[in-house]
């Protein structure tokens, strides 16, 4: 019985190891580097849209789904529409929007269609510079990387 169990399990264990080769932390293969670059480009496009005052274009980086999750300030908005409404209500003037600066991107490609991105954000607003950290869960859907969950914290 033991040899039958080993014969059944061993091929799966070997194929699992072969499918997920380990690499040193921080080392990306070509595919991962390309995907990280695509995610970085999407995040930079969000910054550009924000700095133009275009919240709907900023929202292009988010999954347009009722299952989108956005957590900030102890509150959770569920869905793309609720997240858009939150942004448009909180940042209803160009002065409140200020200039968004993001930095310190750390992108971990988990699989061909899943990734996590960490980074810093800061708003340059007259008389104030709120800032903090974010953690994004991304999925590649229909060929595009989109944020499916955003947890943003404030340093204040």
pTM: predicted TM-score of the whole model, two decimal places: 0.80
pLDDT digits (tens, 9 = 90+) for 84-121: 999 999 999 999 999 999 999 999 999 999 999 999 99
pLDDT score at 27: 54
**Which domains does the chain possess?**
28-154 (3.10.450.50)
Q: What b/e readout covers 140-156, taking b as 16+ CB neighbours within 10 angstroms?
A: beeeebbbbbbeeeeee
């Amino acid at each position: 019985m033991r040899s039958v169990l080993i014969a059944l399990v061993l091929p799966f264990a070997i194929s699992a190891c072969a499918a997920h080769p380990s690499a040193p932390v921080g080392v990306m293969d070509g595919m991962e580097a390309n995907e990280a670059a695509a995610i970085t480009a999407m995040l930079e496009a969000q910054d550009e849209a924000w700095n133009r005052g275009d919240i709907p274009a900023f929202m292009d980086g988010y999954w347009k789904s009722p299952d989108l999750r956005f957590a900030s300030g102890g509150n959770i908005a569920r869905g793309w529409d609720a997240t858009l409404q939150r942004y448009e209500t909180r940042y209803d003037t160009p002065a409140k929007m200020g200039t968004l600066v993001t930095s310190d991107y750390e992108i971990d490609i988990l699989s061909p269609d899943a990734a996590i991105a960490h980074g810093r954000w800061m708003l340059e607003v007259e008389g104030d510079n709120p800032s903090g950290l974010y953690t994004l869960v991304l999925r590649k859907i229909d060929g595009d990387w989109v944020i499916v969950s955003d947890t943003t914290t404030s340093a204040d």
